[in-house]
Structures are given as structure tokens and as C-alpha cells.
Structure 1
Amino acid sequence: MVDLDDASRRRVHPVALAGLMLALLAALLLFLSGPGTRMGFWHFRTAFKMMGWAAYAGGAAALVSIAGLALARGRGRALAAAGLVIGALMLYLPWSWRNEAMKYPGIHDITTDVANPPAFVAIAPLRKDAPNPPEYAGDSIARQQLEAYPDIKPLMLAMPVDSAFTLALETVRDMGWELVDQNRRDGRIEGTATTPFMGFKDDVVVRVSSASGISRVDVRSKSRIGRGDVGANARRIRAYLDKLRQSDPAPVRAE
């Protein structure tokens, strides 16, 4: 004799299944958005739209899964619970990223020397088709940087310029940036950093100069696309200077 109650528990309620499928679709949209941009399958603006679609789909999945929890029994409830968790997470992640982005100023060119920022030379031709030109915009962004990132300052190294240049070059390689050019005579090192998720290209120039018998290291990091950078360029400069400072046997405080 067939146990109808046991059979109903084994049968998955379609609402619970729909909630889970919708949640998985949201996850697919979200986690393919960045790699797809990085591999050139679609424009970065399409990726941002996909993140928005993922948030909407995640919210819908959470609501459907709540209904699934009320309607389903047995294994269906487990699927509804999974759909609720995944859907809520897909709604939360884009929302949290957007809120985090709003904390930062809408600038994408950060430097330790706002009065005389290091200039891009070898990288300049690589940016000819980029929406953001290689030139520094001046006071319009300098004021915003000084307010948002007052800690971004030059690093002073108690060593000759030639030794500081060698150390700065080694540190560029340690950071994993693509080395574009090095000019020991000018004290200039240029490289390109690629963001891990979206594959955005941000260019970096390091300038090593003499300062009253010791060496001064200035860094500039600028995004090729986008109005803001969600603090990425400032974090990159901090990470570089911290690594450089740790490699210096006799560090001097930043100016």
C-alpha cells in the first residue's frame, strides 16, 4: 500500500523549486558579470546592469522561497530554505557594493604629490583610447583627494636614489603589476595593475628623486575608465608604499 503522506513529503513543491532556480539564476548573473567583462564578452556597463538584475532576481527569489517554506513539506522546505539564503545574499551583495561605492569621492586619479604629480610617459600612448586621459586634472580633484585620503603622502627612504630606485622597481614586481617601462636616469617606473574581478586596467607611475641627501618616492595611480574608483587607487598606493617601507632597512617617516 502506498503511503500518500510519505509520497507528498518526497514530492518537491513547484514554488520551492522556483525560488531556488531564481536564486541560482541571480547567482549566475552576479558571478559571471565581472569575469565576462574581463574576458571581453561584454562591456563593463553591461556587467553593472547584470549586477542590478541579480539583485532584483535575488529579492524575488527570497520572496518566492518564503512562500515555498510555507507551502512545501519535507525536502521541498530544504530547497526553499536554500533559495531564501542564496536569494537574500544575491540581493545583499550588489546593495552593499553600491553603498560602499557611495562612501568614496568620484575621482579616479590619486597621487602622493598633488602639486607636481608624476607624469605618464611610456603609458600615455596606451591610454590614447581610454575615456580617462593621462593628464592630471589639478585642483578639481586635488582638493577631493586631500579631504578623502589625507594619509596619501610621499615616502622618504634613507638611501641613495639609485638604491631607492632598485628597491622601488623590485617592489613594483612584487606587487604583480605589468611592468611597462623603467628609466633609472629619470627615476621613473611605469606599470599597469589589473583588478581581479572586473579586469579594469589602472596605470601606475613611480617617481624616485633626491631629497636633501635621502630619497623621496612618489606614486600616482589612475584608472583608465570610470568616474570613481571605490578607493582602489588609494588602496593600491598604500599597499605599495607599505611594502616598500617594510623592505627599507632604515625607514624614514613620510612627509
Structure 2
Amino acid sequence: MKILVSLVSLIAFLLVALPGPLYKFGILDLGTAFTGFKFGVFAGIAALVLLGIQVLFKRDTVRLSSALTAVILSAIAIIIPLSMMNTAQSVPPIHDISTDLINPPEFVAIAPLRADAPNPAAYDGIETAEQQRDAYPELQTLTYTQPKSELMEATEKAVDNLGWELVNNDASVGIIEATDTTTWFGFKDDVVIRVTDKGSERLVDIRSKSRVGGSDLGKNAERIRTFIEELNVVLGK
């Protein structure tokens, strides 16, 4: 029984831990990877049930170290997928976020890189804008007094600090484009930052969009917030 509990808990853990890297390196498709999550939850629950049976009926075979390991592996297998499901239910099912919902910054140099992506480079439209407005009302155009050249330099520095891949820096039109690759699944999400003059002020807008997936689990909004914080740090605000 002890071996069975350990084996099932390990399988549960692997069903949750491995799909990300396997998808990242092109071994699994995304649907199969997420199916692994589902079976990981089932296997995790099964491991805990088996452990309970072992404790009740074969207590003399229970070892604290192996039991604790089984609980930890099973808990990870159960908690991570359920946490993702909970997050998905708490955010709108969108993947294109912008601080300017009327005239979102457009992808230029990145557009060809998204040619084969399930999610096109074009903005997703009014329905997405309405859902974003309800879910993330704090994401709005930023206003700065620094010169445009200084903001462009600070933006590039912030992009570098965050570990994003710089794709385009066009100071003539005030556009910087970059790609952020997530660690676990290797999802590529694209970002475009636009700096424009408005009298004595400068307006900064950020747009972040996933290449794949219907819901981003709030990742693009989080990315924009992180960028804003980093930009302000670079500017000494």
C-alpha cells in the first residue's frame, strides 16, 4: 500500500508539473497539456484517499516521511489546477489589455511575428474593452512631464529590467515593442508601449496581448501593472 500511495501521488504531481515544459518544447499540444491538469487532480485525490485507507487499516505500514511526501505531492497536484480555475472564474475571459481602449497602441514590428498565432495582432474590439473597463478600471493612460526622449530611454530600460525581449524601438513615432515569454509554459505575450506629446505633457499607453489562449488569467493586466511600477522606479518616482 505504501508503494502504491507513493506511486499515485508522484504520478499526480508529474501530471501537473510536466505539461508546461512539455508544451514549451513542442512535445504536447495545449489541449493535451491542460488535460494532464485534470487527471492530475483526480490522481491527487486518489492518492489522498489511498493514504487515508492505509492510515485506517494498515497503520503499521505508515511512515511519516513517505506519508508527508505523498500529501505534499498530492496537494500540489490538486491546488495548482484548482487555483488556476478559480482565477479564470474571477477575471474576464479576455487576453488583450490596453490602457487606451479608444485608440489602443498597434503592433508594428511584432505583427509579422504573430502571423501564425491563434490570436491576431488586431485589437479585439469593443466587447473586450467593456469587459476590461469593468475588471481593471485602474488601467488608464499615464501622464508624465519628462521629455519624450527621456521617457523612451526609461521605457527601454524598464523593458530590459523586466527581462522582456526588445523587438522594436522607434523613437520617431514613440513606439517600443517587446515580447515576454512566461517561464512555465513558455507562452509568448507581446507588449507595445506608445509615448505621445500632449502640450507640455507626455502620454504613455501600454498594451499587452497573448498569442494563444482565450483567457489570460489576468496575466496581461498584471504585466501592465508591473511595467508601470518598473517605469516609475526607473524615472525615480
Report the TM-score range of the alignment, normalised by the length of the smaller protein.
Answer: over 0.9
**Match of residue 108 from structure 1:** 95
Q: CA deviation at 1:152?
A: 0.6
Distance 2:234 2:175 in 1: 19
Q: CA deviation at 1:85?
A: 4.2
1:33-44 → structure 2 map (5 Å cutoff):
33-44=19-30
Q: CA deviation at 1:158?
A: 1.5
**Match of residue 155 from structure 1:** 142
Query: Quick check: 1:196 aligned with 2:183?
Result: yes
Q: Secondary structure at the match of 1:102?
A: helix
Selected match of 2:52 from 56, 66, 72:
66
Query: Quick check: 1:143 aligned with 2:130?
Result: yes
Stretches of structure 2 lacking an aligned partner (at least 5 in a row): none
Distance 2:163 2:29 in 1: 25
Give the CA RMSD over aligned residues: 1.4
Selected match of 1:217 from 204, 209, 231:
204
Q: CA deviation at 1:81?
A: 4.8
* Counterparts in 2 of 1:25 and 1:242: CA distance versus 1, 3 Å: same
Larger Rg: 1
**Match of residue 166 from structure 1:** 153
Contact 1:69 1:81 in 2 (8 A): no
Runs of 4+, deviation exceeding 4 Å: none
Could you report, residue by residue, the CA deviation over 1:52-85 in whole angstroms, capped at 9, with x for unpaired residues?
Answer: 1110100111111111112334453433454244
Query: Quick check: 1:246 aligned with 2:233?
Result: yes
Q: Secondary structure at the match of 2:94?
A: coil
**Match of residue 215 from structure 2:** 228
Equivalent pairs counted in the alignment come to 236
Q: Secondary structure at the match of 1:217?
A: strand
Distance 2:24 2:219 in 1: 17
**Match of residue 54 from structure 1:** 40
Distance 1:33 1:117 in 2: 34
**Match of residue 3 from structure 1:** none
Q: CA deviation at 1:126?
A: 0.6
Distance 1:220 1:31 in 2: 30
